[in-house]
């Protein structure tokens, strides 16, 4: 249970770090704003034309009498929009990181250098186009995994009682796990940690990951909050990645020296 608090602590430390580095925070907002505009336009289009799409996809209901036709198509329209909203929450981070790869890469490096005892940060030797390709490929793989979970949880949501209590809670933990993976990937990819190894690292400290990602996932449900929290989330995920890999930080070194100096 201690790891839950530690994970949440990294989330707060990341937000504090960007608050002290205003320029990095400003640049980090741009990708989120761009992605938000794109997603808002897509959701508005889904709300406007979703009913027409459902009508086109259900020709078998054309001859149904009232109220069944309206009820079935209305339900399917609501389901379509709910799935679109869920997909938006699950993919927002991946798309924002892809759009803002150079910004977040630089931010993560600065966090590493700031907390590293020797003031250096691991750097990738890969060209930008290669990093973008790897990031897009891995994000697609994570999206497939998250999509399978989303379909499963959506189906379980129809179960009486359990579907309205346990399933939503489980859904937030699943979202938090995949959200943390996407954010920590910025720092771990620079260290040449492949997707399979990243997932193994995260699974080895699930409570740490949940402590970081679950509250963040809940916050991301509030409109516009995701945009403002993204830079700090990347900074916090960098600190979390260092913990997962057992890398020492400057604060750790100071604490150790203080303990050694104590009589």
The pLDDT score that the predictor gives to residue 169 is 85
- 223: confidence class by pLDDT, cuts 50, 70, 90: low
Give me the percent of the chain exceeding a pLDDT of 90.
Answer: 25
86-124 pLDDT tens trace: 777 767 877 888 788 788 888 999 999 999 888 888 877
Residues 6+ apart with CB under 8 A from 220: 89, 92, 93, 179, 226, 229
The pLDDT score that the predictor gives to residue 70 is 77
Q: Which two three-digit tokens encode residue 155?
A: 């189906």
Q: How long a stretch of residues is the chain? A: 263
- 235: confidence class by pLDDT, cuts 50, 70, 90: very high
Higher pLDDT: 251 or 130? It is: 130
Does position 42 have pLDDT exceeding 80, yes or no? Answer: yes
Does position 211 have pLDDT exceeding 90, yes or no? Answer: yes
157-167 pLDDT tens trace: 777 777 777 88
Establish whether the linkage from the previous residue to 67 is cis, with ω within 30° of 0.
yes
The pLDDT score that the predictor gives to residue 117 is 84
The pLDDT score that the predictor gives to residue 110 is 92
Contact 230, 26 (CB under 8 A): no
Tally of CB atoms within 10 A around 170: 15
Q: Whose structure tokens read 């995994």?
A: 145
User: How many angstroms separate the Cα of 5 from the Cα of each of 43, 137, 219?
Assistant: 35, 32, 17
Q: In the chain, which ranges are continuous DSSP H helix?
A: 2-20, 22-57, 68-99, 101-115, 128-156, 162-190, 195-204, 206-220, 225-244, 250-261
């Amino acid at each position: 249970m201690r790891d839950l608090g530690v994970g949440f602590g990294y989330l707060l430390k990341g937000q504090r770090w960007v608050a002290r580095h205003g320029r990095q925070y400003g640049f980090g907002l741009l990708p989120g704003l761009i992605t938000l505009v794109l997603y808002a336009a897509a959701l508005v289009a889904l709300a406007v034309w979703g009913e027409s799409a459902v009508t086109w996809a259900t020709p078998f209901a054309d001859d149904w009498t009232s109220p069944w036709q309206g009820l079935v198509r209305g339900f399917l329209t609501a389901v379509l929009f709910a799935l679109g909203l869920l997909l938006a929450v699950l993919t927002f981070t991946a798309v924002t990181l892809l759009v803002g790869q150079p910004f977040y890469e630089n931010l993560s490096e600065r966090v590493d250098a700031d907390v590293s005892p020797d003031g250096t940060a691991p750097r990738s030797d890969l060209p930008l186009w290669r990093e973008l390709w790897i990031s897009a490929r891995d994000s697609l793989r994570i999206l497939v995994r998250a999509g399978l979970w989303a379909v499963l949880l959506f189906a379980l949501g129809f179960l009486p009682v359990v579907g309205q209590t346990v399933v939503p809670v489980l859904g937030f933990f699943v979202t938090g796990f995949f959200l943390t993976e996407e954010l920590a990937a910025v720092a771990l990819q620079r260290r040449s940690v492949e997707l399979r190894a990243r997932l193994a690292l995260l699974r080895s400290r699930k409570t740490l990951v949940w402590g970081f990602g679950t509250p963040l996932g809940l916050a991301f449900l509030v409109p516009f909050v995701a945009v403002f929290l993204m830079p700090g989330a990347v900074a916090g995920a960098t600190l979390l990645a260092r913990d997962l890999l057992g890398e020492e930080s400057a604060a750790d070194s100071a604490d150790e020296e203080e303990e050694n100096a104590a009589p």
